[in-house]
Amino acid sequence: MIDRDKFIADNLGLVHSCCHRLTGRGIEYDDLFSAGCIGLIKAYNGFDESRGFAFSTYAVPVILGEIRRLFRDGGTVKVSRTLKELSLRAVRERDRLTKSLGYEPSVNEVADSLGVSGEEVAEALTAALPVLSLTYESADGVQEYDLPAEDIETEISDGLALKEVVNSLDPADRSLIVLRYFNCRTQTETAEVLGMTQVQVSRREKVILGELRKKLLL
């Protein structure tokens, strides 16, 4: 690798990107950035170029892990006012669409109706869920529920790795995968958009998925 300090300075944008994802949740940006820089340094020290992945694929989960440690150590994560307002709008819109469509709409349908991203709506609807107390009163006093914890960092890491390998595809293949798996288009609809036949889309899709699997298993 190139000079350590220069390499880290050149990749501070990764830290800022990760910090922006977690702003407005009760911790100051400067603190998020400081933790992210620690993660960036750890990523630099642990990165193995021989595995064939871009540095960002490895670094982003490490940076997010350090930032999220702040939330784990600092207690309850606060919900920002902006997120609360979007949460109310998302719940109202979901209820309205349920009545008009006759079924509960997907996150993407609510997002399209509100003119925001599906990720924002998913986060907003999650914030609208009632708070679960992990303690309860019993004859023996205050007890705690033993709840299984999801491996969120692994999920984030897998998602970022997938995004990285999809972005590494050539534009035509990337468009096909985005239409099929991110925009949920059928093979026929994808074929119409890309000027291909359904059979061509099917064959090319199998090849691309095989390439993605190989890259993700490196």
What pLDDT digit, counting tens, does each position of 100-150 carry? 888 888 878 888 888 888 778 777 776 655 544 444 455 555 444 444 444
Give tens-digit pLDDT for 38-54.
888 888 888 877 777 78
Assigned fold of 4-74: Four Helix Bundle (Hemerythrin (Met), subunit A) (1.20.120)
Residues of the chain with CATH 1.10.10.10: 81-130
Pick the CATH number of 169-216 from 3.40.50, 1.10.10, 1.25.10, 3.30.70: 1.10.10
**In this prediction, what percent of the chain has a pLDDT beyond 70?**
77
- At 143 the pLDDT is 47
Q: Quick one: pLDDT at residue 213?
A: 82
Indicate the pLDDT class of residue 27, thresholds 50, 70 and 90: confident
Quick: pLDDT tens for 145-191. 444 444 445 555 566 677 778 888 899 999 999 898 888 888 999 99
Distance, C-alpha 84 to centroid of its chain: 20
- Give CATH for domain 81-130: 1.10.10.10
Q: Which residues make up the CATH 1.20.120.1810 domain(s) of the chain?
A: 4-74
Mean pLDDT of the chain: 77
* pTM exceeds 0.75, yes or no: no
Q: What pLDDT digit, counting tens, does each position of 3-12 carry?
A: 667 788 888 8
